[in-house]
Amino acid sequence: GENVEQHPSTLSVQEGDSAVIKCTYSDSASNYFPWYKQELGKRPQLIIDIRSNVGEKKDQRIAVTLNKTAKHFSLHITETQPEDSAVYFCAASETGGFKTIFGAGTRLFVKA
């Protein structure tokens, strides 16, 4: 069945450094790739998403890249801050369906 793998499971960086989280998906029909951030004790919230007709999208310190041929996409956070500490989930879904498959999550620690 469909699967989304996410790496690493834990990531620790120094404040100001960059963080990269990578995901691969198995369903070639997937064409929508959102990223959610979940702070401790809070609900997941969308931080950025990308559709298959573009290869890269950027929003301030956050960027996502997509390689449809290789079936992988990545989240890049630059100039990390302590408030970026959270669990980040990637996900994939396909047109015509509501089924969203989530990765297992990456726990990001940003050390001040």
Partner 1 sequence: ETGVTQTPRHLVMGMTNKKSLKCEQHLGHNAMYWYKQSAKKPLELMFVYSLEERVENNSVPSRFSPECPNSSHLFLHLHTLQPEDSALYLCASSRGENYEQYFGPGTRLTVT
Between 44 and 80, name the residue whose CB sits nearer to partner 1: 44
Residue 73 is a binding residue for partner 1 (CB under 8 A): no
The SS3 of residue 3 is coil
Q: For residue 91, which amino acid is it?
A: A
Question: 65: which residues sit within 8 A by CB, 6+ positions away?
Answer: 55, 56, 73, 74, 76
Residue 54 is a binding residue for partner 1 (CB under 8 A): no
Residue 49 is a binding residue for partner 1 (CB under 8 A): yes
Please choose, out of 14-22, 56-64, 70-78, 88-96, the segment that lies near partner 1 by the rule CB under 8 A: 88-96
Choosing from 22, 63, 102, 109, the residue that interacts with partner 1 (CB under 8 A) is 102
Secondary structure of the chain: what % helix, strand, coil (to 5)? Answer: 5, 60, 40
Between 15 and 29, name the residue whose CB sits nearer to partner 1: 29
